[in-house]
Structure 1
């Protein structure tokens, strides 16, 4: 993991995907996957990249705007690509024994196919095999955000599951991490923390403290400041503010929240 607690495998695959996925032709991600598979047909990495080709083509087809901006004739083609990726992943499930990214990809497929049953069965299996891998919970949480047809209660369920699977090593760290990411993906969820509804502020704050013991970084302190500001907890905000010594990270703060405004609001 990095100093902030991010698994390096996430960064590695994210970098590979971003590097090649812009071009879905044989000059880009598709060609790289083909050549890699040709050179080493049993390669775990090559087969995972081939699975990601379906995803890259689907994103290229759909675009990244709201669903309402997508032409209706695109959706059948989009769904077909997702079904092809699902079938490819199932055919190559031996990858899952070597690389947890298989599960993350299948969760993404489940989200895009709106297959809730597939999502939860994939998460359940992944959490038994790779309980400490944060992104299996993150991917599932994103899929069950209210804006994708899920609910705050489902976010809470996934956050609790992640914390329970890792409580011996990480306390409530995963609980704080999942909810923090949920707020970043859907800032409207800040209102729940502010009103102490569904999400537990006591557990979230303890989770950040547990995480800071493991990863004493400015990233963790920024997250304590953010959560404390939303929850209107002056004591925890002031303590973290003294520790961070001005090293705030703007990209960590969710839309609609500003460090200086938070700081001034507690004076």
Structure 2
């Protein structure tokens, strides 16, 4: 390799964008710093008996893990239903069923979240999976609707081109339509995640655990520190999951579309 070619290669090699990397990493670090500062504060200030029971580190970590589980299972259920259903409702054979399905999906989100949780608890039983079902019904619409919108916005000429080169209907769907619709679909999934994090706080009303326990305890016992701690931790968790959703939109969407 000549000196000139080596110099040319070095000149054309992109250098890492350190500023951009920090721009990506800084927000979650700030969110985590707020959460850690809140928890540390609760461990060092004088507490009465009720506050000590609700703000000990083991209790907080257990409730945080329960909250994450509620969000995880409800979101997985949404993805398992909304993605294939959204695809089916954009196919010509099922277009007539779309209005009826959308009415049901809108009904789930139009119902107040507390009312949804309590209604399902009355119909079935209190507990973790009832809260998961309520979160699923409440957060189904964004992913379902964005899946349909993303697929409907794909340029028909691209679909015709895929069929013109001999691709099957499944091949066009997985190699043309879904990749083109990915940014819109991922945006819906991101909205579902954030909705679930915030709404999961009401799971405490039916004994499903989560960080909502801190809020209900703080309200019922008039302990502002317990209430504020629960609110801060839920907000931080929502911000962190929204950040992860943003990364997914950026890196999972096909290049040139995100």
Say yes or no: TM over 0.5. Answer: no
TM-score where L is the length of structure 1: 0.25
Greater C-alpha radius of gyration: 2
* More helix, by proportion: 2
Which structure's relative contact order is higher, taking Cα pairs within 8 Å and 6+ residues apart?
A: 2
TM-score where L is the length of structure 2: 0.25
